[in-house]
Structure 1
């Protein structure tokens, strides 16, 4: 059974990815040195072979010229050829009739080639040729001499190249081992800040101590990584601090309505167990107590809902979309009037487009209108204006109440903050805080000033967005027709 062709590369890739960075650097360093040594060996072997061959050819030419000079003086047939000493060069004389003479005891050379015979006949002056196999080859030089030719040959010897290759192999192995060691050392030294960073991160994870910043050391990418982690820890510290403050404030704010609700319920239960509920609480008092209970439950429900919304922060499953803010404002005004029928809302809105989350924006506008409705006199409506500014959308909610004291303005958007004059009114002090969070999440700004009617004027500015293409074309067509 054959394995799929792509399985082995994938297995090798998975094996490589499971290696540590230190091991990868070691393997890369050793591989790079091994490849470099191999390439250097190949290039050096070729150069050495060419150099040795050129030297051998030059030596053969020089020996041939000496032998040819002696042959011309003494004649090819009478030339004295000393016995073969057992090693070294090989010689041969080619006579005019094609026969050959060789020294006594000399190994036999390959037969005279046809090109060498042409040199002996005077067709060319000399010839350099190689004959034989790679293991037992000859380099033969043929030179014209008298009526024939002389040949000087040398056995092809690869031992210098082999010795050089063996030496390069040993050097290469040492270099690979040294490269692996150097790569390991460099990886350990270079990754030391990463190890300390990992240890610090593990310590923070175990101790949950977000106040311990990681020491800023190293440079380049390591330093940026440490700074990024420290920034993340700072953000987590701020988030934990905000959660702690929210929990403390929520516990404080929930204590009062829960205590009042518990006392009233205990009073009803105690009187009912005694059987004196009707005598101790006349119908009018009982109705007033039940109304107080209902109001307290409603206030507690509103507080819990606002706490839940505030605790979620910017986390929301609602997606951002392009929407007409005028529709959102109109829907919020309708909800405000249904919740407080005695509050009149006067709308002065125009179609403006923003990119945002519809439910969150509607909740923010509803909180603004509810806040203004608490202060506006019964005969004075809450004025809501929506207009387009320079690259922004401006929403204004104006009431005719007593306004906000200058001392309260800096803290009006703080969580659970309620001015002294507002403590007798229903509410949790979270409405405007939720408004600011929603506006900040949409990249806008919210502010409060005194209105022309003497009350508070809350102004929200949001980045404007281009309307959808069909609406933009329709608007352009209406403008052209009007002109």
Structure 2
């Protein structure tokens, strides 16, 4: 298999492995690497310590032999060292092999030993084998022109090193196994919230029900994963509200559209049998059909406007509020000729806000239409625009002198399709104020309603 093929196969295998497995393997590899490194370092420390102890014994034996045999000629000073219980064997080695009258000794004499005897080299340690046994030998200076070789059996040191290596290998293997178990436990416990998040997301995708939530640990045990789960729960809450609002909007829209559509169908069927109707009946049916078409068109347009979540940024511009209020008041006077509109601008002639002029006009128009609809004949609708503070924060109030808003209706005034008992006999779909609040919030403004002293309602728009 080519290198490219192996890389592709390895990448696909990594992608197929779940995150829990990859985390467990990474944790195991990290802990195993540390365990192997520690055991390896411990092995070298133990080995060096054992050899240092043996070298110390050789140094002491050499000092003892040199003290007892000062001026001794070349030859063997101590006997055989084939047995563990025997003392160190020692030999005196001359610098010149020709001046060595004795037969070859039992310890091997290397050229380096002649150099130590001649004073040309420092003392040194070496490992040798004698009679099939491992030994450690020290070659040091003894007298002028002579060197001293001292050797000890190294079986115990090598056995200790082998035993330490075995134990350390066993400990390392146990550490790797323990690392694998701990890695799996850590990955399983650490990724449990992620697993719950994935399961919740899959359950929502399968059931299309955003009411599911992730179970969070008790307070005091928060971590990054818990924060992620909490953020996911918050997102699910927002999603549930959005889905609920969408379903409610669809249900309310279908309910509100059912009546005008039925009337439209009835009038259309009536006009289809026009030969049976008198001219007056046909005219009334045509006028009713046109009026109902306008109502349905307005209702559909309002639903489309409510479905928009934000204002188009490309259309945002600086709007002079005083001029916009005067323009909307003129339009309201033309639409409600029997209702007087009194506009007062108190120090807000130069106040401007960032917004979409058409949308702000729709907002003010809805407020003025709502006030005119509830105002009795001859009662004025009072519109006041004021500016407060150095920054010129604008506030618009629209007051009518109608029946006002009942205390129990105040929390629901801006709900879609909500109509109070006193308003059900009046024209409208119940979307105007809901649309007004949506436009206000899109322009960083707050629209509220309150009962006016002496009767009526006051709608307050604060930018």
Indicate the TM-score class for this superposition, using the shorter chain for normalisation: 0.7 to 0.9
**Cα distance between partner residues in 1 of 2:41 and 2:238:** 59
Q: Decide whether aligned partners of structure 1 residues 244 and 61 sit closer, same or farther in structure 2, where only a CA change above 3 A counts.
A: closer
**Cα distance between partner residues in 1 of 2:95 and 2:211:** 105
Report the counterpart of residue 396 of structure 2 in structure 1: 395
Of 251, 257, 260, 1:254 maps to 257
> Are 2:113 and 2:147, in contact at CA under 8 Å, matched by a contact in 1?
no
Asked if 1:54 corresponds to 2:55, the answer is no
Q: Decide whether aligned partners of structure 1 residues 334 and 103 sit closer, same or farther in structure 2, where only a CA change above 3 A counts.
A: farther
Of 126, 129, 135, 2:124 maps to 129
Matches within 5 A, 1:215-230: 215-217=215-217, 219-221=221-223, 223-230=226-233
Moved more, 374-383 or 385-394: 374-383
Over residues 410-466 of structure 1, what are the superposed CA-to-partner deviations in whole Å (9 max), with x where a residue is unaligned?
Answer: 14323223345544543212101111233344554322346699754321112xxxx
Aligned length: 440
Of 20, 36, 39, 1:22 maps to 20
Over residues 9-63 of structure 1, what are the superposed CA-to-partner deviations in whole Å (9 max), with x where a residue is unaligned?
Answer: x998886565423212321222222221233134323422432332232122222
- The answer for unaligned runs of 5 or more in structure 1 is 120-125, 463-483
1:180 to partner: Cα distance: 0.8
> Are 1:130 and 1:137, in contact at CA under 8 Å, matched by a contact in 2?
no
Q: Decide whether aligned partners of structure 1 residues 406 and 95 sit closer, same or farther in structure 2, where only a CA change above 3 A counts.
A: closer
Over residues 239-265 of structure 1, what are the superposed CA-to-partner deviations in whole Å (9 max), with x where a residue is unaligned?
Answer: 343333323322232222222222222
Q: Decide whether aligned partners of structure 1 residues 163 and 325 sit closer, same or farther in structure 2, where only a CA change above 3 A counts.
A: farther
**Cα distance between partner residues in 1 of 2:384 and 2:152:** 108
Asked if 1:76 corresponds to 2:79, the answer is no
Matches within 5 A, 1:364-403: 364-375=363-374, 383-390=382-389, 392-399=393-400, 401-403=401-403
**Cα distance between partner residues in 2 of 1:331 and 1:19:** 68
1:152 to partner: Cα distance: 2.1
**Cα distance between partner residues in 1 of 2:399 and 2:103:** 126
Report the counterpart of residue 131 of structure 2 in structure 1: none
**Cα distance between partner residues in 2 of 1:320 and 1:92:** 106
Matches within 5 A, 1:2-151: 19-72=17-70, 75-77=72-74, 82=79, 85=82, 91-95=90-94, 99-100=99-100, 104-112=105-113, 114-118=115-119, 127-130=122-125, 140-145=138-143, 148-151=146-149
RMSD after superposition: 4.5
Matches within 5 A, 1:114-193: 114-118=115-119, 127-130=122-125, 140-145=138-143, 148-153=146-151, 159=158, 161=161, 164-165=164-165, 167-192=167-192
Q: Decide whether aligned partners of structure 1 residues 338 and 19 sit closer, same or farther in structure 2, where only a CA change above 3 A counts.
A: farther
**Cα distance between partner residues in 1 of 2:137 and 2:315:** 85
> Are 2:405 and 2:451, in contact at CA under 8 Å, matched by a contact in 1?
no
**Cα distance between partner residues in 2 of 1:137 and 1:317:** 92
Moved more, 62-71 or 104-113: 104-113
Secondary structure at the counterpart of residue 184 of structure 2:
helix
> Are 1:76 and 1:146, in contact at CA under 8 Å, matched by a contact in 2?
no
1:330 to partner: Cα distance: 5.1
Over residues 149-197 of structure 1, what are the superposed CA-to-partner deviations in whole Å (9 max), with x where a residue is unaligned?
Answer: 4232569999454664454334323321231123213433454455455
Q: Decide whether aligned partners of structure 1 residues 66 and 206 sit closer, same or farther in structure 2, where only a CA change above 3 A counts.
A: same
**Cα distance between partner residues in 2 of 1:29 and 1:200:** 27
1:208 to partner: Cα distance: 3.3
Report the counterpart of residue 303 of structure 2 in structure 1: 307
**Cα distance between partner residues in 2 of 1:116 and 1:353:** 106
> Are 1:299 and 1:426, in contact at CA under 8 Å, matched by a contact in 2?
no
**Cα distance between partner residues in 2 of 1:60 and 1:405:** 109
> Are 2:77 and 2:90, in contact at CA under 8 Å, matched by a contact in 1?
no
**Cα distance between partner residues in 2 of 1:375 and 1:206:** 49
Report the counterpart of residue 333 of structure 1 in structure 2: 328
**Cα distance between partner residues in 1 of 2:375 and 2:285:** 28
Moved more, 198-207 or 93-102: 93-102
TM-score of the pair, normalised by structure 2: 0.75
**Cα distance between partner residues in 2 of 1:331 and 1:173:** 87
Of 308, 315, 318, 1:323 maps to 318
**Cα distance between partner residues in 1 of 2:408 and 2:323:** 29
